[in-house]
Amino acid sequence: MAGVPAASIFIGMWVRTTFVVLTLMACTSASTESTATTETATSSPTAETTTTTPTGTTTTTSALVTTTTTPLLPVGDLTIEAFPVPAGSRPHDVAPAIDGGVWYTAQGSGELGWLDPATGETRHTELGSGSRPHGVIVDSDGVPWITDSGLNAIVSVDPTTFDVTVFPLPPEHPGVNLNTATFDNNGILWFTGQDGIYGRFDPESESMVVFEAPGGRGPYGITTTPEGSIYYASLAGSHVGAIDANGGAEVLEPPSPDQGARRVWSDSSGAVWISEWNTGNLSRYQPSSETWDTWPLPGDVPAAYAVFVDDADIVWVSDFGSNSMVRFDSESETFSVLPLPHSPGDVRQIHGRSGEVWGAESAADHLVLIRTR
């Protein structure tokens, strides 16, 4: 594989802006029993690993400007802060870093980005020729792991040296359109590809197994429950896949047909939340009872893209239809709508840590932050 170019550090013109708008809407849940079928997956061996080391950096600096508005909100002082990233980055997914920063995949430039929320500094590490990074997650040692559809590989970046290590998928699985990843409770990385696969990768042994997804094309979002169960959402297949201990997947059907299940996230109880792209619904699957609840997002033409459950079990959804971040309290079954600072913003993924909810405005080259405490 060709050598990976050097890492670069950018400290761009940083203008952090705080935006406040909130609309409250309630809606009613609808429950239905799920239907399920089981299909067997097939496995493939791993491919050769490539490691490269960046060699150079460049820096620039600028002033910080802050604009704040005073909120008058019934659910607390919720604001959206916007942080610019280098033009053309097209940030896709975000993951909080253990040093207080935030990692993001710069899909437009083929790089892994890092933002310091305190100063606005951004650092970019080039991932290689043809890179098109999609998802990013962080392991227990603080190492970011990327699902790179352009390289058709799982990629890791050393957070100290910025060494880039590329783990290609087996050659019999070219161009799988890698999307997202999650770690199970044993440190195994599970990933999805929209071409119709999901897989697992062991960072210690560097062994990789790829499975054919039941129903073919579609695997997109993926999540791990507290007890270690793995679920993925199939966008084209309009279902949720429950992966068993042997790597097989059981198909779980949400109540709405052709709903376009896009992303999934587990709450602290092990319930799985699903954003439905085609219907604009937010759904919840309860594994213990095998039951579903569904709530339509507020607005005329909702399009639910990303979903995330924060440390207080509040559910967050990005809605392309209203260009907003939507907060859902499952106890009161109440939505709160926070319009994004840019139009279009196109937040494609949401993540967070205690007191913070992060998203990436892929259409506006900004990261956004909602402080929940």
The answer to the question of residue 224 being in a domain is: yes
The answer to the question of residue 330 being in a domain is: no
The answer to the question of residue 15 being in a domain is: yes
- Rounded to 5°, the CA angle 93-13-339 comes to 50
Q: CB within 8 A of 237, min separation 6: which ones?
A: 213, 214, 215, 216, 217, 218, 219, 251, 261
The answer to the question of residue 1 being in a domain is: no
pLDDT of residue 50: 54
Structural domain including 302 reads 7-323+336-371
Burial of 285 (0-12, 13-18, 19+ CB in 10 A): buried
How far apart, in whole angstroms, are the C-alpha atoms of residue 290 and residue 269? 14
How far apart, in whole angstroms, are the C-alpha atoms of residue 261 and residue 259? 6
CATH, residue 29: 2.130.10.10
The count of other CB atoms within 10 Å of the CB of residue 365 is 20
The count of other CB atoms within 10 Å of the CB of residue 232 is 28
The answer to the question of residue 135 being in a domain is: yes
pLDDT of residue 68: 31
Pair of tokens at residue 209: 């197994």
HEC string for 78-142: CCEEEEECCCCCCEEEEEECCCCCEEEEECCCCEEEEECCCCCCEEEEECCCCCCEEEEEECCCC
Burial of 125 (0-12, 13-18, 19+ CB in 10 A): buried
Residue 53's alpha-carbon distances to 2, 115, 158, 165, 229, in angstroms, are: 12, 21, 10, 9, 35
Coil/strand/helix, residue 151 = coil
The count of other CB atoms within 10 Å of the CB of residue 40 is 11
Q: How many domains does the chain have?
A: 1
pLDDT digits (tens), the chain, 373 positions? 433 333 443 333 344 444 444 443 334 333 333 333 333 333 333 445 555 444 323 222 222 323 232 333 344 578 899 999 999 999 999 999 999 999 999 999 999 999 999 999 999 999 999 999 999 999 999 999 999 999 999 999 999 999 999 999 999 999 999 999 999 999 999 999 999 999 999 999 999 999 999 999 999 999 999 999 999 999 999 999 999 989 999 999 999 999 999 999 999 999 999 999 999 999 999 999 999 999 999 999 999 999 999 999 999 999 999 999 999 999 999 999 999 999 999 999 999 999 999 999 999 999 999 999 8
The answer to the question of residue 328 being in a domain is: no
Are the C-beta atoms of 109 and 88 separated by less than 8 Å? yes
The answer to the question of residue 303 being in a domain is: yes
Q: How many CA atoms within 13 Å lie on the side-chain side of 63? A: 2
Are the C-beta atoms of 209 and 216 separated by less than 8 Å? no
Q: CB within 8 A of 260, min separation 6: which ones?
A: 235, 236, 238, 276, 277, 278, 279
Looking only at the bridges linking them, the beta strands covering 14-19 and 80-84 are antiparallel
Pair of tokens at residue 23: 């609309």
The answer to the question of residue 95 being in a domain is: yes
